[in-house]
């Protein structure tokens, strides 16, 4: 997923899915709500299969989250993921993604992490866990010394603070799971997923 695509969507749903059978109706709900994208995390055994299922749709941008190693990066690439996200900065994983033209958004939480990101030539990184490490004030503080870096804040983002983050010039998009909570997916409440997604998209369009 490119910078321009992220900037246009503004929100990336972060999904932990328990069965591949939920992948298609979930994607239908997200698309209907205005977000044809999902970061499927590898926190569950169904993650890889769900990525495969969604990649086959063709009109849906599916990425892989919670990628901790080169092996996992290879697996999600083979499964059809179009971008990789990790909670922290693993230099080997980042380098493999760059070598294989796979967009990668590693997690950062400090200036030291950002120095590594600059060393690898990255322009967009995940800011995680956003709320727990200082939220909007922390990002504002980082804008000075890292004016060219762009962030995807994730962790504690909700409908209540979404536009506080999107209002920052350094934020390209936000990652969030409030519209794709596991209980909603497990209960088959995809109508609610669609409603929450549409609500988030509508609100995000008011930003900037």
Asked about 39 being catalytic, the answer comes back as yes
Asked about 126 being catalytic, the answer comes back as yes
Q: Provide the percentage of residues in the chain whose pLDDT is more than 70.
A: 100
Residue 2: pLDDT band (50, 70, 90) is: confident
Number of structural domains (the chain) is 1
State pLDDT tens for residues 25-58. Answer: 999 999 999 999 999 999 999 999 999 999 999 8
Residues 174, 206: contact at Cβ < 8 Å? no
Give me 164's structure tokens: 């506080």
Residue 1, pLDDT > 90, answer no
Residue that the structure tokens 């209540």 belong to: 160
Q: Report pLDDT for 76.
A: 98
Q: Among 10, 31, 39, 131, which one carries the catalytic annotation?
A: 39
* Averaged pLDDT, 117-143: 97
State pLDDT tens for residues 57-66. Answer: 988 999 999 9
Give CA separation, 150 vs 12, 56, 124, in Å.
Answer: 15, 30, 5
Q: Report pLDDT for 208.
A: 59
Residue ranges of alpha helices (H) inside 42-152 are: 47-55, 70-79, 91-99, 111-119, 135-143
Q: Report pLDDT for 37.
A: 97
The Cα–Cα gap between 47 and 45 comes to: 6
Residue 207, pLDDT > 80, answer no
Give CA separation, 127 vs 19, 47, 132, 158, in Å.
Answer: 28, 22, 10, 15
* Averaged pLDDT, 69-87: 98
Model pTM?
Answer: 0.96
Q: Among 71, 92, 126, 192, which one carries the catalytic annotation?
A: 126
CATH of the domain at 137: 3.20.20.70
**Mean pLDDT across the chain, nearest whole number?**
97
The Cα–Cα gap between 103 and 117 comes to: 13
Residue-number span of the structural domain to which 153 is assigned: 3-204
State pLDDT tens for residues 148-176. Answer: 999 999 999 999 999 999 999 999 999 99
């Amino acid at each position: 997923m490119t910078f321009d695509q992220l900037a246009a969507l503004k929100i990336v749903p972060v999904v932990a899915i328990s069965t591949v059978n939920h992948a298609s109706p979930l994607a239908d709900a997200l698309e209907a709500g205005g977000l044809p994208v999902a970061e499927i995390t590898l926190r569950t055994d169904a993650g890889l299969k769900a990525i495969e299922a969604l990649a086959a749709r063709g009109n849906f941008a599916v990425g892989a989250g919670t990628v901790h190693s080169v092996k996992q990066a290879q697996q999600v690439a083979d499964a059809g993921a179009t971008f990789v996200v990790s909670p922290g900065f693993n230099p080997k994983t980042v380098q493999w993604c760059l070598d294989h033209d796979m967009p990668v958004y590693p997690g950062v939480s400090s200036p030291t992490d950002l120095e590594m990101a600059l060393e690898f030539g990255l322009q967009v990184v995940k800011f995680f866990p956003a709320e727990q490490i200082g939220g909007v004030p922390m990002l504002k503080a980082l804008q000075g010394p890292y004016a060219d870096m762009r962030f995807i804040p994730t962790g504690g983002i909700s409908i209540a603070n979404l536009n506080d983050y999107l209002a920052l010039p350094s934020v390209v998009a936000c990652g969030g799971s409030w519209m794709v909570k596991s209980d909603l997916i497990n209960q088959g409440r995809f109508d609610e997923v669609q409603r929450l997604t549409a609500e988030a998209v509508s609100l995000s369009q008011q930003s900037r």
